[in-house]
Chain A
Amino acid sequence: MPADEHKDELTQMLHSWKDQDASQLDKLVPVLYQELRILASSHLRRERVDHTLQRTALVNEVFIRLMGQRVDWENRSHFFGVASRMMRRILVDYARKNQAEKRGGGAQRVDMDKLDALLEMTAESKHPLTLTIHQALEKLEGLDPRQAQLVELRFFGGHSIEEAADLMSISTSTAKREWKFVRAWLKNEILKEHDLS
């Protein structure tokens, strides 16, 4: 059963996440996502789990199941970091696929006036900025990894500012300040790109 093999690798991957071995991640993400869905359906079925609020609980459950151990502070934050990263990959892939299927392809038209609102939302496959933000993030990772992580946790992981601050071990006010700046930076990047295209 392919899933089993993947699971051990998955565990390994989670353990060695500190090394940020991206290639392993790519291989195993679909499997993990599948795991999440299976878990949702067969084990937590009496409590339907498709609401964003339950996401963290669900992911928690996956973690326990795979790691077979109690979740303590350190692991939790680094685990959610992984999860957000995974969500990002999944959604970006999905968005790319969707793009390809649309007639004409190309970047979705984004109403510039709505940028602020869009940036505050959580990424979904239909969110018009998923790919754009992903690209901007790749740039940002080279400039300020902490800011990039904040965006990843918030936009792709769906965490609130407070939760993200907690996971990053910074104060909420610091997180808020960073968020304001990085949002402006993102906006700028997006606007620049659209101007050029």
Chain B
Amino acid sequence: MTSRESSAASASAEQASVEKHKRLKQLVEAALELPAGDRDSFLERECAGEPALRQQAQELLDVYSDVEVEPASEPEQIGPYRLITELGAGGMGVVYLAQREDGFSRTVAVKIMRRGMDTDFFLSRFQQEREILGALDHPGIVRIVDAGSTDDGRPYLVMDFVDGVRIDTFCETLPIRERVSLFTRVCAAVQHAHRNLIVHRDLKPGNILVAPDGQPKLLDFGIAKVLDQEDNESTNATIPIMTRQYASPEQVRGQRINTASDVYALGLILYELLAGTRAYELKDMPAGDAERFICETEPPEPSRKAPRAAAIHLRGDLDRIILMALRKEPERRYHSVEALSADLERYLQGRPVSAQNDTWAYRASKFVQRNRTAVAVGTMMTILLGGGIGSTLWQARIAGSEWARAEREATFAKSSEAEARRMEAKAEESARVAVSERERAEVERKRAEDKAAETERQRQKAESRFREVRSLANSLLFEFHALIRNLPGATEARRLVITKSLEHLQMLQRDAANDPGLQAEVAAAYEQLGQLQGAAGDAALGDIKGAFESQVKALGIRQVLAAAHTADAGMQRDLGASHLRMAELLLALKQQGGALESAQKAQSIYQALVRTSPRDVLSMLGLAASQQASGQAHESAGRLKNALQSYEAQTESRRRIEATSPDDLELQTQTAEARDLEARAIELEGRFSDAIHIVEANGVIYRKAVAANPHNIRARRNMIQNHRTLGSLAERTGDVSTARDNYRRAVDLQKDLVAEDPRNARMLEDLAALHSNLGATLIRFAQPAEGAKQYRLAIDIAAELAARDPQNSAIRAALAGAHLGHGQSLMEAQQAELAQKAYETAIQMFEPLAATAPRDVNIQMHRALAHIGIGRILRDRNDLKQAEKSLQHGANVLEKILPGSGDHRVLSNLGIAYNRLADVYRLQGNNGLAIATYSRTLPIAERLLKQDPLNAMAFTMRAESMSRSGMIQESNGDWTAALRSYQGAVEMDAKQSARDPRDVRAKENLAGSYFAVCEIRLRLLQHRSAFEACAAAILHWKQTPAKAELAIALARAGDIRFAQAAEEPDRAELKVEGCKLYRDAAAAGAMEMEPRIARCGQ
């Protein structure tokens, strides 16, 4: 054939194959539409006379798979482990028995993630399981010994192999008591997980094996640890009906899951172990019915379902214990697994158990949990009532810093919990007694009224009045709570009681016109009532306005008394204290102006007192307290300078107080606490180094206090706060390692506190905040995954608290902030999709908060950050229009709160927002606008640096602006301008890096900036300077994990040497050096180095 003929022939042959291919596709697709049986005959018909086609079509049909990914068998060897046999399959992975072959020869269980499940979502879960198991160190929890990934990138976990049987099988031959005893060991393991804030969520007999030595072991933390809401939903979607067998009502309803869900599961397991059958048999129920059943049907008593021999043991205590764990409402079960275990221990020791039968009162009343707090507050007040109302309240005011109050709350909450429980038990037995109590109190009240109508007031009568008021207040305000609480309409009754007390006090007040002592008592009673009305944390009782009104009345009386007895220092002090109390309430009502006024009134009173008696410590304390209150009022209104003045004045006063009793650690501590406020105000101004001095000095004192009193909560809280503040300040000045160390310490100390008092909301709040702080620092330490973990811990805690107390906006703000931080860490860890979800969650939470608090700098700023975070993700996704919108929104919010707030963080974040916005303009091609927007960071950075020349944020911001501007200038061909920009970036990055030699990110940034300078110099043919810059880049990249960049820099440096060698051929050493650099570059992993190395002739 001629060439033309052959090419024509091949052209038509090509055409033929194309046609055939098309037909093949049509055939296969058509065949797939048919049922399998008809396919053969279909192909016969269609491919008549074309056996080759038929065969090909058949081949394709054989390999065709609809499933996205087919499950395939595992290779025999994974890392050093040889897989022997499959042990079982779970939700996310398959578990194999395996043996380690490399001389360590041990038998293990290897859990490998299934194929097709390596999406971000499941990978992070798997990673979580690894982290969880890694973090849990307990004989009752299976131990993780190794981890890794397979050749095709799927992660696996290696655990100790537990050669045991399922716990239900194991128990079949055990007597009841031993089953209970074994079960308490399971509880210990679960409790250990809870202490580490991990909820298992999938407890069932299949997940608990008993080893040959009798030690039960928990397995499969595959769906452990609750995250935020969306996780709840998706988990419910993937739990098959089988596992639903052990699901709690809240799990089934998709509600918040916490440790109580594990308690429920344990209850079901115990039921099964003791009664021999399940509490509910859900296997054949359709899905909807099963859920309803779980949520609504009460399980039968275990003793009724157990065989006769066992039933005898179960009736009574064990029945009650199990049923208590199985209560439908989480808050009505055992508070913790430990509580459950403790009750079981009591049963084993023959002691009375705490589980009670469900009574009508319990079922009807929804207030059991809330009432505890109310009772706690009430108890606190009445205990204070005991010794000299006026001065004690006032002492409370002096102690005034949040810590003292919290500590009191903590201590009293604890003791009153026990108290309350006893009260409940008593109240339960006698509903009728409650009624008669009320009647008795009514009679009491009436008698008091009659007495008040008498005209003759003698000293003795006055004294009996004192007693009367006290006992009345006692009974009205305290005993009633316990007794009426269990009745329906408890809130109403309580309100009634308070109203009655008010009425009674009003009458007393009228009659006390000539009796200053009684008047003082009445004023004190009003103050106390006000405390009760304003009780925080109890929405039913919380009535700030009412508290305010009571306080106004109290204040009125005190003013009258003080005016009439100007020489009586005690009365004057009481008036001062009353003003302070008022200031506190007004602050809570956000009326900073009024608060300031009251604080200043108090201040002038105390100042006058101190002037007349300079040794009067009580008045000095009062003065200090009022100065603090003024400071707080100023700070709340955003006037930092004035706040600082007040705080400094307070410190002065406290120093003088200290001087009266120089070795008094308590006084020193109070001074340190006062200085903490000062330091915080200075920090907000941006003067970090000054703040650090103060905080470090305070730390010395706090350490002494803890050493003297290691269990004292206040001392420990001060220490924790100290670490936290130091961490925060270190972060601001760029000393990332100090920050991390301090936060870690703070977290550890706080965890100790929480462990001792796990229900204490305040402590949990603080722990959540500390986790957030640590998370933020870890991001800067280039450990975003670790940071994300911390944020998740914070989210867990905050979410739990928010669920308990939905009205508390501070907690909701903390939760939103934790989601924000989580988003930031996910962003850094390259998980943009998860990050976006986290940001969106944060925004959703911030919007309502922001609407109600437009001047709250914290909330607005964090809200802005969430928008900015999303803007960045959108920018990366090239969704530029939306990115611009989000970023602009964020910037607007910040601009709005900027004036009037000297808060440096607002400035910093605004700078970041401008940088991001400029990025978007740049990507949209709007270079002019981009450069202009980048330059907007200059005045911001200058302002920040003026406050503190070490402000790390300022450096970062400017470095970014300049390097991006440089990019634009470079792409415009404006080399000189670009060089200037890049040099500016180098300067900023160098300052940043010098602060902390361990800051890896800073080094990377610096190296990158140097490299950019090198490239520009090259364009300008300034070889020597270019080489210097590249050498600097190499130097710094060598100290970071950035291998690829190092390789490029080495290659570039080699290029420069060769270019120089071309210009100066007589300098042979240039070529030699260039060759060495090329070889180094290749060794570091640079690609395509062969042609260059070829030039070296070796």
Q: Which single member of A2, A56, A142 contacts B14 (CB below 8 Å)?
A: A142
Q: Judge if A144 is at the interface, Cβ distance under 8 Å.
A: yes
Q: Which single member of A30, A43, A191 contacts B1087 (CB below 8 Å)?
A: A30
Asked whether A37 lies within 8 Å of B830 as measured between CB atoms, the reply is no
Per the 8 Å Cβ criterion, residues 995-1036 of B in contact with A are 1004-1005, 1008, 1011-1012, 1015, 1018-1019
Q: Judge if B17 is at the interface, Cβ distance under 8 Å.
A: yes
Asked whether A116 lies within 8 Å of B70 as measured between CB atoms, the reply is yes
Chain B residues, Cβ within 8 Å of A4: 1019
Please tell me which stretch of A130-138, A150-158, A180-188 contacts chain B, meaning at least 4 of its Cβ atoms lie within 8 angstroms of it.
A180-188
Asked whether B69 lies within 8 Å of A117 as measured between CB atoms, the reply is yes
Q: Judge if B967 is at the interface, Cβ distance under 8 Å.
A: yes
Q: Assuming the A-B contacts A41-B1045, A180-B66, are A54 and B830 also in contact, with contact meaning beta carbons closer than 8 angstroms in the complex?
A: yes
Asked whether B878 lies within 8 Å of A142 as measured between CB atoms, the reply is no
Asked whether A181 lies within 8 Å of B29 as measured between CB atoms, the reply is yes
Asked whether A45 lies within 8 Å of B72 as measured between CB atoms, the reply is no
A48 CB → nearest B CB, Å: 7
Per the 8 Å Cβ criterion, residues 38-64 of A in contact with B are 38, 40-43, 45-48, 50-51, 53-54, 56-57, 60-61, 64
CA distance A143 to B23 in the complex (A): 11
CA distance A81 to B21 in the complex (A): 23
Asked whether B72 lies within 8 Å of A117 as measured between CB atoms, the reply is yes
B1019 CB → nearest A CB, Å: 8
B18 CB → nearest A CB, Å: 6
Asked whether B28 lies within 8 Å of A181 as measured between CB atoms, the reply is yes
3 nearest CB pairs, A to B: A41-B1045, A45-B1008, A70-B925
B524 CB → nearest A CB, Å: 61
Chain A residues, Cβ within 8 Å of B830: 48, 51, 53-54
Per the 8 Å Cβ criterion, residues 798-851 of B in contact with A are 830, 832
CA distance A177 to B69 in the complex (A): 15
Q: Judge if B521 is at the interface, Cβ distance under 8 Å.
A: no
Q: Which single member of B22, B876, B924 contacts A70 (CB below 8 Å)?
A: B924
- Indicate the size class of the contact surface on chain B: 35 or more
Chain B residues, Cβ within 8 Å of A143: 17-18, 21
Q: Which single member of B68, B1019, B1048 contacts A120 (CB below 8 Å)?
A: B68
Q: Judge if B899 is at the interface, Cβ distance under 8 Å.
A: no
Q: Judge if A107 is at the interface, Cβ distance under 8 Å.
A: no
Q: Assuming the A-B contacts A42-B1015, A45-B1004, A188-B60, are A116 and B1048 also in contact, with contact meaning beta carbons closer than 8 angstroms in the complex?
A: no
Chain A residues, Cβ within 8 Å of B65: 116, 184
B1022 CB → nearest A CB, Å: 12
Chain A residues, Cβ within 8 Å of B924: 70
B1056 CB → nearest A CB, Å: 9
Chain B residues, Cβ within 8 Å of A113: 70, 72-73
Write out, one digit per residue, whether chain A residues 94-137 have a CB within 8 A of any chain B CB (1) or not (0).
10000000000000000101101110110000000000000000
Asked whether A177 lies within 8 Å of B29 as measured between CB atoms, the reply is yes
CA distance A47 to B869 in the complex (A): 13
Q: Judge if A197 is at the interface, Cβ distance under 8 Å.
A: no
CA distance A4 to B22 in the complex (A): 45
Can you give 20 A-B contacts (C-beta < 8 A)? A1-B1055, A2-B1055, A37-B1048, A41-B1011, A42-B1008, A42-B1045, A45-B1008, A46-B960, A47-B876, A54-B830, A65-B971, A71-B878, A111-B72, A114-B152, A116-B69, A117-B152, A143-B18, A144-B22, A184-B63, A188-B59
Q: Which single member of A37, A42, A47, A120 contacts B69 (CB below 8 Å)?
A: A120
Write out, one digit per residue, whether chain A residues 63-74 have a CB within 8 A of any chain B CB (1) or not (0).
011001111000
A143 CB → nearest B CB, Å: 4
Chain A residues, Cβ within 8 Å of B876: 47, 54, 57
A195 CB → nearest B CB, Å: 11
Q: Judge if A34 is at the interface, Cβ distance under 8 Å.
A: yes
Chain B residues, Cβ within 8 Å of A53: 830, 832
B959 CB → nearest A CB, Å: 9
Chain B residues, Cβ within 8 Å of A17: none
Asked whether A121 lies within 8 Å of B60 as measured between CB atoms, the reply is no
**Total count of chain A residues near the partner, CB < 8 A:** 50
Residue of A nearest to B1059 (CB): A1
Q: Judge if B1088 is at the interface, Cβ distance under 8 Å.
A: yes
Per the 8 Å Cβ criterion, residues 1046-1072 of B in contact with A are 1048, 1055, 1059
Chain A residues, Cβ within 8 Å of B116: 117
Write out, one digit per residue, whether chain A residues 161-179 have a CB within 8 A of any chain B CB (1) or not (0).
0000000000000000100
B367 CB → nearest A CB, Å: 50
Residue of A nearest to B967 (CB): A43
Chain A residues, Cβ within 8 Å of B1008: 41-43, 45
Q: Judge if B697 is at the interface, Cβ distance under 8 Å.
A: no
Asked whether B1018 lies within 8 Å of A1 as measured between CB atoms, the reply is yes
CA distance A89 to B60 in the complex (A): 28
Q: Judge if B285 is at the interface, Cβ distance under 8 Å.
A: no
Q: Which single member of A45, A47, A184 contacts B60 (CB below 8 Å)?
A: A184
Chain A residues, Cβ within 8 Å of B17: 142-143
Q: Assuming the A-B contacts A117-B69, A188-B60, A191-B63, are A34 and B1045 also in contact, with contact meaning beta carbons closer than 8 angstroms in the complex?
A: no
Q: Judge if B671 is at the interface, Cβ distance under 8 Å.
A: no
Chain A residues, Cβ within 8 Å of B925: 64, 69-70
Chain B residues, Cβ within 8 Å of A43: 963, 967, 1008, 1012
Chain A residues, Cβ within 8 Å of B360: none
CA distance A62 to B82 in the complex (A): 46
CA distance A38 to B1044 in the complex (A): 9
Name which of A45, A118, A121 has the most chain B CB atoms within 10 A of its CB.
A45
Residue of A nearest to B1006 (CB): A45
Chain B residues, Cβ within 8 Å of A37: 1044-1045, 1048
Q: Assuming the A-B contacts A45-B1008, A64-B923, are A38 and B1048 also in contact, with contact meaning beta carbons closer than 8 angstroms in the complex?
A: yes
Q: Judge if B877 is at the interface, Cβ distance under 8 Å.
A: yes
Asked whether A180 lies within 8 Å of B1087 as measured between CB atoms, the reply is no
Asked whether A46 lies within 8 Å of B1005 as measured between CB atoms, the reply is yes
A45 CB → nearest B CB, Å: 4
Asked whether A57 lies within 8 Å of B878 as measured between CB atoms, the reply is yes
A191 CB → nearest B CB, Å: 7
Chain B residues, Cβ within 8 Å of A46: 960, 1005
B870 CB → nearest A CB, Å: 15
CA distance A70 to B960 in the complex (A): 22
Q: Judge if B64 is at the interface, Cβ distance under 8 Å.
A: yes
Chain A residues, Cβ within 8 Å of B1042: 41
Residue of B nearest to A94 (CB): B1087
CA distance A7 to B75 in the complex (A): 46
Asked whether A33 lies within 8 Å of B1087 as measured between CB atoms, the reply is yes
Q: Judge if B115 is at the interface, Cβ distance under 8 Å.
A: yes
Apart from A42-B1045, A57-B877, A181-B29: 8 A-B pairs, beta carbons within 8 A: A1-B1059, A42-B1008, A43-B1008, A45-B1045, A53-B830, A111-B75, A143-B17, A188-B56
A148 CB → nearest B CB, Å: 11
Q: Which single member of A34, A50, A54 contacts B1088 (CB below 8 Å)?
A: A34
Residue of B nearest to A39 (CB): B967
Chain A residues, Cβ within 8 Å of B960: 46
Residue of B nearest to A113 (CB): B72
Asked whether A142 lies within 8 Å of B18 as measured between CB atoms, the reply is yes
